[in-house]
């Protein structure tokens, strides 16, 4: 998939899918956020951030969005020193 990143004067940046209508676009405030979103989509991963998930949903059609892999659950190391 190919994407175009455009500089928006008021909101930051717009990510648009190349060769698709303007409906397939998302607004992001930083260029780094745009790069992260494009990286996750190209890797076939669903972003952890709920905002980036919504942006991915706007950039992809329903079948493509359903094919994204959900992120693994984060590891939480519960300290054993708090036991009484």
Distance (Å, whole) CA 44 – CA 65: 9
81 assigned to some structural domain: no
Give pLDDT tens digits for 19-38.
999 999 999 999 999 999 99
Position 75 scores a pLDDT of 87
79 assigned to some structural domain: no
Residue 16 belongs to domain spanning: 3-71
76 assigned to some structural domain: no
Provide the whole-model pTM.
0.80
28 assigned to some structural domain: yes
Give pLDDT tens digits for 51-64.
999 999 999 999 99
Distance of CA 16 to the CA centre of its chain: 13
Which of the four pLDDT bands, split at 50, 70 and 90, describes residue 15? very high
Give pLDDT tens digits for 61-75.
999 999 999 888 888
């Amino acid at each position: 998939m190919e994407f175009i990143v455009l500089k928006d004067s008021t909101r930051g940046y717009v990510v648009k899918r190349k060769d698709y209508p303007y409906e397939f676009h998302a607004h992001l405030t930083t260029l780094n956020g745009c790069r992260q979103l494009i990286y996750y989509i190209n890797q076939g991963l669903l972003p952890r951030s709920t905002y980036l998930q919504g942006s991915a949903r706007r950039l992809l059609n329903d079948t493509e969005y359903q094919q994204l892999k959900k992120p693994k659950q984060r590891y939480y190391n519960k300290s054993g020193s708090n036991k009484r």
